[in-house]
Amino acid sequence: MWSTPNRLPDAIIAIPPTEAKTLDDFREYYRAIAKAAKRPLFMQTTGGARGIEPTVEFMLELARELPNFRYVKEECEPVIERMKQLAKHRDVIHGVFSGAAGKGMMYEMGLGFDGTMPGAPYSDVYAQIWSLYQSGQKEKAREVFSRLLLMLNTEQQIPGTRRYVMKKRGVFKTMVSRRDKSTLGPEAIREIDFQLEGLRPYFKA
């Protein structure tokens, strides 16, 4: 979540602990965060210890216990069914969001969910799709979304696409990453640039 040197973040998001052994470990982890942060708290349901999945009931229990735990970024399968179950409890769950690069956002908007939390390279495009859809311009939203999907598909096919786009859009100065090293050949760059040109008319920054 965004913040400035003189302002606290509006909210925080945390994946489950990666070294947990049980759901009780998850519980203690989020209790500690909620107590220390005192800000609105999102749980991302994936990314934690393997073999341990936060159930819908578990999240509802946490929400009833922790006043600032009110938001979920749902990525566990079956995603849509879990989001529907969470959305039935608006008294304690105030925001139900998806992840997975926002690939399902058109359907999810139609179901009345609260948003998606994708990666950063196309934030301005996601915002336009949301605004168009919510203002009733569903066909235009579909048009922009279809261009975005081509880029998301390219990201899956060509490792390093996301860092290349972030550099090309002026967000990063290099493609250096502490996670891994990816080298893009001329064919890969040509494909990324081709698909990116289709999305460029919708860039706002």
Taken in order of first residue, the domains within the chain and their CATH numbers are: 1-118 (3.20.20.70), 123-205 (no CATH)
- C-alpha to C-alpha distance for 51 and 30, rounded to whole angstroms: 18
pTM above threshold 0.85 = yes
> What does the pLDDT look like over 173-186, one tens digit per residue?
888 877 777 789 99
Q: Which two tokens stand for residue 202?
A: 């919708």
Per-residue H/E/C for 178-195: CCCCCCCCHHHHHHHHHH
Percent of the chain at pLDDT > 90 equals 87
Where is 70: in which H helix or E strand? strand 69-74
